Amino acid sequence: MREVYRITRRVAVSNASVLVLGETGVGKELIASAVHQLSHRSGRPFVRVNCGALSESLLESELFGHVRGAFTGAVSNRTGRFEAAQGGTIFLDEINSTSLTLQVKLLRVLQEKEFERVGDTATLRTDVRIIAASNRDLMGEVRAGRFREDLYWRLNVVPIEIPPLRDRRDDIPALVSHFLDYYNELNDRYVAHIGPGTMEALRDYHWPGNVRELQNYVERAVVMAETDELLVELLPDCVTSGQPIPAEDLEAAGPVDFETMTKTVVQLGLDQTGRDSTDVHRGVVDVVEKELIAQVLQACGGVQTKAATRLGMNRNTLHKKIKEYGLDG
């Protein structure tokens, strides 16, 4: 990671294109943001685009904009992300997801610094630094014919490869401390101590979801803790048993909306002022757990096996809780 930081600082002061490589959840966007913030473009926009989240036609319109009547539903002119990022930086995440047709247009932007809106003939000039990211081996994609070699070399001026969390386990204590501080403040909690065996379990886990997975588990532990300790019992079974959740399941399930849960907990605490603190805490935990299970079930399409894996609990336990909370209707 020291090498990653060194390269980030060196490349930031230039205008060179940067290609950030690494598994899902290692923090590629954070590195891209750091490159922008340390550059002379820091006072201009930093625009993020997830290329894997949109179809080819929608992504082209999102990147380059469109004019009225360009396609069905284009009722007015729209500014694209390259225009919005003028003078700043555009971060193209999951660049490997783009089609070969769109890659030609991206290559033109990199080489000629110009493009046209969808449905328009007027050529627009752009002054934007491009930072791309991929969780796949792009040279392997080139060999497979799914990614243009000329675009690869244009993007790969300065590569920054972020190692997975399992290869930098010494970072785990610092990351846990950071996430504890953040989520304690966000949820008005004070989980300040690490219980016996907890850090050992975290260090020994394989972390297929990398830093994002660790962040998820710390956040949930802060919300569910009954004391000021981060206990090993608050970690999911996959961590304590050493059996990792497949990374694709973590990515497909998506993030949990803890903001909604926090608001519910606060309201419950206000409604139950004056009651025994143990009863209040038990009620709060029940509300949080019910909301968490409901959200994960929805994210997993109702598939209980996948939801149980995501939640880090036995499927039979999940089935029992679903019935207990009335979530089976």
**DSSP letter string over 129-154?**
EEEEEESS-HHHHHHTTSS-HHHHHH
Q: Residue 72: its pLDDT value, please?
A: 65
**pLDDT tens digits, 41-64:** 999 999 999 998 888 878 988 899
Record the tokens describing residue 132, joined without a space. Answer: 């791309």
Q: Residue 195: what residue type?
A: G
Q: Residue 298: its pLDDT value, please?
A: 76
Secondary structure tally for the chain: helices H, strands E: 16, 9
Looking at 42-137, list the stretches that DSSP marks H as alpha helix, in order from N- to C-terminal side.
56-64, 81-84, 100-112
What is the reported pTM? 0.69
Q: Which residue has the tokens 């244009």?
A: 154
Query: Quick one: three-class SS letters along 249-294?
Result: HHHHHCCCCHHHHHHHHHHHHHHCCCCCHHHHHHHHHHHHHHHHHH
Record the tokens describing residue 148, joined without a space. Answer: 């243009």
Q: Report angle CA 13, 128, 22 to the nearest 5 degrees.
A: 70
Q: What is d(CA 321, CA 324) in angstroms, rounded to the nearest whole number?
A: 5
Q: Residue 253: its pLDDT value, please?
A: 47
Q: Which residues contact 227 (CB under 8 A, 6 or more apart)?
A: 191
Beta-strand relationship, 18-21 and 158-161:
parallel
User: Which segments of the chain have a pLDDT < 50?
Assistant: 253-255, 258-259, 262, 272, 277
Domains in the chain with CATH codes: 2-163 (3.40.50.300), 166-239 (1.10.8.60), 245-329 (1.10.10.60)
**pLDDT tens digits, 132-173:** 999 999 999 999 999 999 999 999 999 999 999 999 999 999
**Which residues pair with residue 92 across a beta bridge?**
49, 132
**Which residues pair with residue 115 across a beta bridge?**
124
Q: What is d(CA 232, CA 27) in angstroms, rounded to the nearest whole number?
A: 25
